[in-house]
Amino acid sequence: MSPTPLHHPIPDTQSERDERHLAIQQVGVKRVRFPLQLKLGAQMQGTVGEWSLDVALPAEKKGTHMSRFVAWLEAGADLAFDAALLRARHVDMLNLLGAVSGRSEVSFTFFIKKRAPVSGIESRLDHQARWIVETDAQGHTRLWQEVAVPVKSLCPCSKEISDYGAHNQRSLVTIRAELLGDDLPFAQQVRFAEESASSELWPLLKRADEKWVTERAYENPRFVEDLVREVALRLNKEPRIGHYRVEVENFESIHAHSAFAVIER
């Protein structure tokens, strides 16, 4: 009979003490792609999230437990995320890692179903979005909600100087807003951008819709400066938002470069 093997404990090197006396502000994992269930109002929507997760490491600790970040993702795999749940799960992550401060960030695509302005035909428009939750060394937690919204802008100068027509382009409005609560729907954040533009966009349009969009934009010309200011004015009236950053990029139709503008509060 073979002798019973001795079971020796596996050393936990990462938990050893470090004598270099250097704290690390951020250590973790990034570009982790993982299935993500979104709770968008009363609807659920499946997507793929790209996660970046980190914690601060005290000077006396040698390393963090990298596998626990992925274990944290696995523990929430069947949950439907909104901003409130992510905030709560972020606290769970810090506890799991034994950390005081850290950051959870996830980027993803979601879709909004839209009806064309005249025909009423339905189609889905994709938006790029991001949540960022940060907890500092004092234990203060902030949550940011970001969305990038494609819109249409028509140049006021071109309209003024031309005998007919005016150049116009697609613009991208990116709104990163600090949520003072957890109840600002993505759809509302999207509307801040769409209502500020020369016209909003639809994935699927009939000829009558194209006519409406063209004429709508012509009657609502916007410089990139106009567009960023209009969005900021709407955000200033929203009590659920604290700090924010709005960036507008115009993919110019008569230049090889883009024009952009940024407002921060």
Give pLDDT tens digits along the chain (265 positions): 566 565 667 766 666 777 788 999 999 999 999 999 999 988 999 999 999 999 999 999 888 899 999 999 999 999 999 999 999 999 999 999 999 999 999 999 999 999 999 999 999 999 999 999 999 999 999 999 999 999 999 999 999 999 998 999 999 999 999 999 878 999 999 999 999 999 999 999 999 999 999 999 999 999 999 999 999 999 999 999 999 999 999 999 999 999 999 999 9
Q: Yes or no: say if 194 and 151 are a contact pair by the CB < 8 Å rule.
A: yes
Per-residue pLDDT, 41: 87
* 217 falls within a domain: yes
Q: Yes or no: say if 49 and 36 are a contact pair by the CB < 8 Å rule.
A: yes
- The total number of residues shown for the chain amounts to 265
Q: How far apart are CA 53 and CA 49, in angstroms?
A: 12
* 257 falls within a domain: yes
Q: Which residues, including other chains, have CB under 8 Å from residue 240's CB and lie 6 or more apart?
A: 179, 180, 181, 183, 184
* 239 falls within a domain: yes
Q: How far apart are CA 232 and CA 247, in angstroms?
A: 10
* 13 falls within a domain: no
* 1 falls within a domain: no
Number of structural domains in the chain: 1
Q: Which two tokens stand for residue 113?
A: 């179903």
Q: How far apart are CA 117 and CA 210, in angstroms?
A: 9
**Phi, psi (degrees; rounded to nearest 5) at 17:** -85, 140
Query: CATH no. for residue 154?
Result: 3.10.270.10
* 7 falls within a domain: no
Domain around 257: 25-264
Per-residue pLDDT, 182: 78
Q: Which two tokens stand for residue 130?
A: 């991001």
* 161 falls within a domain: yes
Q: Within 10 A of 85 (CB to CB), how many other CB atoms are there?
A: 14
Per-residue pLDDT, 1: 58
Per-residue pLDDT, 5: 60
* 86 falls within a domain: yes
Per-residue pLDDT, 181: 85
Per the rule left: phi > 0, alpha: psi between -120 and 50, beta: everything else, 165 is left
